[in-house]
Structure 1
Amino acid sequence: MGKTLKIGIIGAGGIARDAHLPNYVKCGDKVEIVAVSDVVKEKAEQLSLDFNIPHAFSSYEEMLKKIEIDAVSICTPNKFHYPATIAALNAGCHVLCEKPPAMTAKEAEEMAMAAEKAGKILTYGFHYRHAPQVEVLKRFIDGGELGSIYAARVTAMRRRGIPGWGVFTNKELQGGGPLIDIGVHMLDTALFLMGYPEPDTVLGVTYQKLGTKKGVGLMGSWDWENFSVEDMARGMVTFKNGASILLESAFAANIEKADEMNVTLMGDKGGADVFPLKIYQEKHETLIDITPTHLPKRNYHELELKRFVDACIDETTPLSTPEQGVYLQQIINGLYESALKGEAVKLSKSVPF
Structure 2
Amino acid sequence: MESSRTRLGMVGCGVFGHRHAEALRELSDRVDVVAVADPDPDRAAEVADIVGADAVVTDHRALLGQVDAITIATPHQFHHPVAADAIAAGVHVFLEKPLAMTEAEGLSLVAAAETAGTVLMVGYPLRYHPLMVRLKQEVDSGRWGEPIHASLVTEQYLVIPDGHWRATTAGRGGGGMFSHGCHYIDLLLWILGEPVRGAHLGTTHGTPWQVEGETTSHAIIEFAGGRLGHHFGTEVANRPPGASHHTVHLTGGTLTAHPAQGTLQMDRIDAEPEVLFTTTPRHKFLDAELSHFLDCIATGERPLTDGARSLQSLRIIWRLYEAERSGLGYADLVGLGLEQV
Q: For this structure pair, what is the TM-score category when the shorter chain's length is used for normalisation?
A: 0.7 to 0.9
Match for residue 208 of structure 1 among 198, 204, 207: 204
Name the structure, 1 or 2, with higher relative contact order (CA <8 Å, separation 6+).
Answer: 1
Q: Report how far residue 75 of structure 1 moved.
A: 0.3
Q: Report how far residue 15 of structure 1 moved.
A: 0.7
Within 2, Cα distance between the matches of 1:310 and 1:84? Answer: 22
Within 2, Cα distance between the matches of 1:22 and 1:272? Answer: 31
CA separation of 1:325 and 1:241: change in aligned 2, threshold 3 A: farther
Q: Report how far residue 200 of structure 1 moved.
A: 3.2
The Cα offsets for residues 80-122 of structure 1, whole Å up to 9 and x where unpaired, read as 2222222222211211111222223333333222222222221
The Cα offsets for residues 247-304 of structure 1, whole Å up to 9 and x where unpaired, read as 21111156x775532222123344312224222447xxx3564323643567611211
1:74-223 matches, cutoff 5 A: 74-158=72-156, 160-163=157-160, 167-194=165-192, 197-211=193-207, 213=208
1:1-353 matches, cutoff 5 A: 2-17=3-18, 19-49=19-49, 51-64=51-64, 67-158=65-156, 160-163=157-160, 167-194=165-192, 197-211=193-207, 213=208, 224=209, 226-253=210-237, 258=241, 260-275=243-258, 276-281=263-268, 286-287=270-271, 289-292=273-276, 294-295=278-279, 300-343=285-328, 344-347=330-333, 349-350=335-336, 352-353=340-341
CA separation of 1:204 and 1:21: change in aligned 2, threshold 3 A: same
The Cα offsets for residues 13-36 of structure 1, whole Å up to 9 and x where unpaired, read as 11111x211222222242111222
Within 2, Cα distance between the matches of 1:289 and 1:113? Answer: 48
Within 2, Cα distance between the matches of 1:83 and 1:309? Answer: 22
- Report the number of matched residues: 331
CA separation of 1:261 and 1:167: change in aligned 2, threshold 3 A: farther
SS in 1 for 2:182: helix
Q: Could you tell me the TM-score, scaled by structure 1's length?
A: 0.82
CA separation of 1:51 and 1:294: change in aligned 2, threshold 3 A: closer
CA separation of 1:103 and 1:150: change in aligned 2, threshold 3 A: farther
User: Which residue of structure 2 lines up, in the alignment, with residue 219 of structure 1?
Assistant: none
Task: State the percentage of identical aligned residues.
Answer: 24
CA separation of 1:297 and 1:227: change in aligned 2, threshold 3 A: closer
Q: Could you tell me the TM-score, scaled by structure 2's length?
A: 0.85
CA separation of 1:27 and 1:336: change in aligned 2, threshold 3 A: same
Mind listing any 5+ residue stretches in structure 1 that lack a counterpart?
Answer: 214-223
Q: 1:232–1:253: 8 Å Cα contact kept in structure 2?
A: no
SS in 1 for 2:39: coil
Per mean C-alpha deviation after superposition, the further-off stretch among 230-239 and 272-281 is 272-281
CA separation of 1:151 and 1:113: change in aligned 2, threshold 3 A: farther
SS in 1 for 2:77: helix
Q: 1:323–1:352: 8 Å Cα contact kept in structure 2?
A: no
Mind listing any 5+ residue stretches in structure 2 that lack a counterpart?
Answer: none
Q: Report how far residue 69 of structure 1 moved.
A: 1.5
Q: Report how far residue 79 of structure 1 moved.
A: 1.4
Q: 2:264–2:277: 8 Å Cα contact kept in structure 1?
A: no
